[in-house]
Structure 1
Amino acid sequence: MLSRPGARVGAGLLLLLALAAAFAPVLAPEAPNAQSWLNRLQPPSAQHPMGTDAFGRSVLTRVLYGGRVSLLAGLLPVLIGLGIGTVIGTVAGYVGRTTDRLLMRIMDILLAFPGLLLAMAIIGTLGPGFSNAVIAIGVGLIPTFARLARAEVLNLKSSEFVEAAGALGARPGRIVFRHLLPGMASPLVVQATISVGTSILSTAGLSFLGLGVQPPTSDWGEMLSGARSFLPDAWWLAVFPGMMIALTVLSFNLLGDALRDALDPRTAAYRRRG
């Protein structure tokens, strides 16, 4: 997989971002909320490579610490959507009939709402905050994984090895865990990888609107929200957090494309012909 240029770029970017977030206390020049009114709104310099904000806080420090929150905000909703969606899709596809129709109609209702609008509605009920934003975005991802899991189960259920296992008396639970889940792991992993980037964008959007991460905790979306009042003069307040969002989403998309090509040779062959 890493023989592909896109995969190497995506993996390299993601590794750098993860290391920067993990070692933020070591790399950051000062505490994320340390204020210095004498240094407020300073442009990038040797002392402050990414400048300072309206409170004199180092933008570099806040970008590093905000990366921790933003990466978690990308991973946690995907875990929620993947876990619950896979269960729903597997049950719907394997049991079929009324159960399938009922579960898929519920998923269709959720899909009828734009993702960010659905998240805003859920947060309007639960209240703003990081945890509620994660839940809201995770709920919005459930239908995507449910429909994908159902499609894979329907495809695998008619396979000879699954029918043979049933004919030999294997219980439904054994068939699901032994044959169906391993068979549909590849497309789910690819979708999960790409969805991390989507989740980061959604969380940043909620934080930008004041519905996600709340001060004094900060993520890249919250930093963009705080930069609005100082544009275009203090351009660095928006450029660096925005650049980090773009690079992170790009890295996950490149990695997802590489995984899809590696795990599904038919897709790779089709793209080469195109």
Structure 2
Amino acid sequence: MAEVVAAAPGQTARPLGNQGFWGRLLSRPAARFGVGLLTLLILAALLAPILAPDAPNAQNWLDRLKPPSAQHPFGTDAFGRSVLTRVLYGARVSLLAGILPVVLGLTVGTTIGILAGYFGKTTDRLFMRLMDILLAFPGLLLALAIIGTLGPGFTNAVVAIGVGMIPVFARLSRAEVINVKTNDFVEAAGALGAGHTRIIFRHLLPSMTSPLVVQATISVGSAILSTAGLSFLGLGVQPPTSDWGEMLSSARRYLPGAWWLTVFPGIMIALTVLSFNLIGDGLRDALDPRTRLRKIQK
């Protein structure tokens, strides 16, 4: 039965669960804007072959460094390639470059955090000291060290950024496990003979889904910025692959005169990061029961 919140005098009591997840999320204007913006970006990436006027690497030396026009809405680069086309195709690479490191960090970090928080003692100390060592290095410096070992490229950039995110998810999941494992329902499951695997997957993991989802969503924006930075330094996505960070790097020498080469990729990076941050904030409010309770009581 749904929990009912007592109403103020003259008001009708309303059930706490009277809104679904999407209703709670989309009830926030900022979250609606973020979801709409991200939807447009994903559609642009998926429909790039249809929306793009040319192939991403099609060169036309007669149209080098042309400013935005009716023929080329975003202008052309130093090789006569359509900037609009490369921005659309670059959305595919940049979105993957943001999502894949988070998947890596979430998977490995959550596993480490669960093991450390559940078993404690030596396991906890060993894993957490390892996480402390990783956290001692600035994220970009750690990524540069990993890429310096593995070599530049998209896959290695994903690994480098993902490794830097492992401690974040490990510490978050460990804290959630420590908070939940002493609850009566977890101890009762153990007393009834449930094994470690069943307790972890049936009782602990579902309880930490909300904070992990929020953290993962916000981390995608951070990963996009980091991978774009690596590509800007020439250590991430390599030419001629379309990537927003690589486009910014290639445009440096033409910046004084060809402003469009940096403005449009930069705007796309900013909008994508903004959309994930707004969605992350909306998810935090929608998944937090205390936030829902405060909203209902108003």
Return the TM-score normalized by structure 2: 0.89
Aligned partner (choices 209, 225, 239) of residue 263 of structure 2: 239
1:25 alignment partner in structure 2: 49
Q: Distance in 1 between matches of 2:71 and 2:92?
A: 23
Residue 150 (structure 2) pairs with residue 160 (structure 1)? no
Q: Distance in 2 between matches of 1:131 and 1:86?
A: 21
Q: Distance in 1 between matches of 2:240 and 2:252?
A: 18
Residue 298 (structure 2) pairs with residue 256 (structure 1)? no
Aligned partner (choices 86, 94, 97) of residue 110 of structure 2: 86
What is the CA deviation profile of residues 138-190 of structure 1, one whole-angstrom value per residue up to 9, with x for unaligned ones? 00000000000000000000111101111111111100000000000100000
2:128 alignment partner in structure 1: 104
Corresponding residue pairs, total: 271
What is the CA deviation profile of residues 89-143 of structure 1, one whole-angstrom value per residue up to 9, with x for unaligned ones? 0000000001101100000110111111100100000000000000000000000
1:206 alignment partner in structure 2: 230
Aligned partner (choices 190, 196, 199) of residue 175 of structure 1: 199
1:119 alignment partner in structure 2: 143
Deviation, structure 1 residue 218: 2.2
2:70 alignment partner in structure 1: 46
Q: Distance in 2 between matches of 1:56 and 1:173?
A: 58
Residue 156 (structure 2) pairs with residue 140 (structure 1)? no
Q: Which has the higher helix share?
A: 1
Larger radius of gyration: 2
Q: Would the alpha carbon gap of residues 268 and 229 (structure 1) be closer, same or farther in structure 2, given more than 3 Å must change? A: farther
Deviation, structure 1 residue 267: 5.2
Q: Distance in 1 between matches of 2:140 and 2:48?
A: 29
Q: Distance in 2 between matches of 1:210 and 1:74?
A: 17
Residue 98 (structure 2) pairs with residue 74 (structure 1)? yes
Deviation, structure 1 residue 44: 0.4
| Partner-residue secondary structure (3-state), 1:8 | helix
Residue 239 (structure 2) pairs with residue 215 (structure 1)? yes
Report runs of 4+ in structure 1 exceeding 3 Å deviation.
Answer: 267-271
Residue 249 (structure 2) pairs with residue 225 (structure 1)? yes
Q: Which runs of 5+ in 2 are unaligned?
A: 1-24
| Partner-residue secondary structure (3-state), 2:251 | helix
Deviation, structure 1 residue 265: 3.4
Deviation, structure 1 residue 269: 7.4
Cα RMSD (Å): 1.2
